[in-house]
């Protein structure tokens, strides 16, 4: 296990962005998905640390990173990534879910050499489900994080056949799991999901803009993930000039941070060292 060094970069609007670095070799900046923070990708970093210096970013509003001033905009997150890339001298990025969307948008103009994303939150023709958002916001307003978590998990197809169960029964199941530091972190991040889902929705049908990405690009998806994630990857592969798709058999949306970081790291290592 390698040592972890915590550093900060200053974004264009003056916001402090914290990141954790470990490993030896070329820099790789990692951006988290929704309801995730830098700490959730530690196992992924450990799998890569013998070949790369992995920089795990706490996106704004997470960990020791600032929240910024004024209303949220995805452009600020893009500036945050650029600040960390500049600060570390890295030219490679890995983005998961919403982090993948941010990384893709940066790669349109920033001179990355390699970009890897796992099921980025790209919506094409309304493919990214957002019908759950009003109920989710009501649950948050009523100070019911358990119901809010159940609503988004069901709305994004993460519950499989369990989503057919009555909401009250699912809430009871989730209530039994809603304790400890991990749940407290998840609950604290629930409000960030509103702004990120709305940002992804606002960029719907803009897949053509990613034709500007010139970096060599690895587009990964899990075969056990919802179809809309796989559709987004396919649409990106059709427009990004130097991209190829990679299916990860049996993996679902949270493979990089939870289910199988080793499998994702293996694909990343092969891509980045090629």
Using alpha carbons only, give the angle 64, 65, 66 rounded to the nearest 5 degrees. Answer: 120
How do residues 97-116 score in pLDDT, each as one tens digit? 999 999 999 999 999 999 99
Q: What are the tokens at 82? A: 């650029």
* 13 plus 110 within the same structural domain: yes
Looking at the fold, whether 44 and 142 belong to one and the same domain comes out as no
Overall domain count for the chain? 2
Residue where a domain stops, chosen among 200, 220, 255: 200
Residue 128 within a domain = no
Cβ atoms of 72 and 197 within 8 Å: the answer is no
- Indicate the residue among 179, 200, 221 that finishes a domain: 200
In a domain, residue 127? The reply is no
- The CA distances from residue 150 to 139, 140, 166, 185, 193, in Å, are 10, 12, 11, 16, 13
Residue 63 vs residues 27, 185, 258: alpha-carbon distances, Å: 21, 10, 19
The answer to whether residue 138 is domain-embedded is: yes
**pLDDT tens-digit profile of 20-77?**
999 999 999 999 999 999 999 999 999 999 999 999 999 999 999 999 988 999 999 9
Tell whether 105 and 143 lie within a shared domain. Answer: no
Q: Are 260 and 171 found together in one domain? A: no
* pLDDT above 60 for 162: no
Residue 10 and residue 88 in one domain: yes
Strands (E), the chain: 5-10, 16-23, 27-31, 53-57, 92-96, 114-118, 216-222, 243-248
209 shares a domain with 137? no
Residue 100, domain member (yes or no): yes
**33 and 91 belong to one structural domain:** yes
**Alpha-carbon distances of 247 from 48, 193, 234, 263, 264, rounded to whole Å:** 20, 26, 11, 11, 11
Minimum mean pLDDT among 139-143, 204-208, 248-252: which range?
204-208
> pLDDT confidence of 161, banded at 50, 70, 90?
very low
**What secondary structure does DSSP assign to 208-265, as a single string?**
GGGGG--SEEEEEEETTS-HHHHHHHHHHHTT-TTEEEEEETT--TTIIIII-HHHHH
Nearest 5°: CA angle at 134, between 121 and 37?
40
Are residue 112 and residue 221 in the same domain, yes or no?
Answer: yes
Instruction: Find the domain containing 83 and state its range.
Output: 5-122+205-273
Which of 171, 200, 229 corresponds to the end of one domain?
200
Please check whether residues 15 and 113 belong to one and the same domain.
Answer: yes
CATH of the domain at 21: 3.40.50.1820
pLDDT at res. 206: 81
User: Which residues make beta-bridge pairs with 10?
Assistant: 16
> In this structure, how many other beta carbons lie within 10 angstroms of the beta carbon of residue 18?
20
Assess whether 116 and 19 both reside in one domain: yes
Same domain, 35 and 102: yes
Residue 34 within a domain: yes
Chain length of the chain: 274
Residues 250 and 147 in one domain: no
């Amino acid at each position: 296990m390698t040592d972890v060094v915590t550093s900060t970069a200053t974004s264009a609007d003056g916001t402090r962005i914290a990141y954790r670095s470990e490993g030896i070799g070329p820099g790789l900046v990692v951006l988290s998905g929704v309801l995730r923070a830098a700490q959730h990708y530690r196992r992924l970093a450990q799998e890569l640390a013998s070949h790369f210096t992995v920089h795990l970013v706490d996106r704004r509003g997470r960990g020791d990173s600032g929240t910024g001033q004024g209303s949220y905009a995805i452009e600020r997150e893009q500036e945050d990534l650029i600040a960390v890339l500049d600060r570390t001298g890295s030219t490679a990025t890995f983005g998961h879910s919403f982090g993948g969307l941010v990384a893709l948008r940066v790669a349109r103009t920033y001179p990355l050499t390699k970009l890897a994303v796992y099921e980025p939150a790209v919506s094409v023709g309304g493919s990214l489900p957002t019908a759950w958002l009003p109920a989710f916001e009501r649950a948050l307003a009523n100070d019911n994080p358990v119901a809010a978590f159940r609503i988004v998990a069901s709305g994004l197809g993460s519950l499989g056949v369990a989503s057919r169960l009555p909401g009250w029964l699912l809430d009871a199941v989730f209530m039994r799991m809603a304790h400890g530091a991990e749940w407290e972190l998840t609950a604290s991040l629930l409000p960030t999901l509103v702004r990120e889902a709305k940002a992804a929705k606002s960029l719907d049908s803009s897949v053509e803009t990613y034709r500007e990405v010139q970096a060599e690009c690895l587009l990964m998806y899990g075969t056990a993930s919802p179809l809309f994630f796989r559709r987004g990857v396919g649409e990106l592969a059709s427009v990004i000039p130097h991209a190829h798709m990679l299916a990860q058999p049996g993996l679902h949306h949270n493979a990089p941070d939870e289910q199988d970081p080793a499998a994702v790291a293996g694909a990343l290592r092969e891509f980045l060292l090629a």
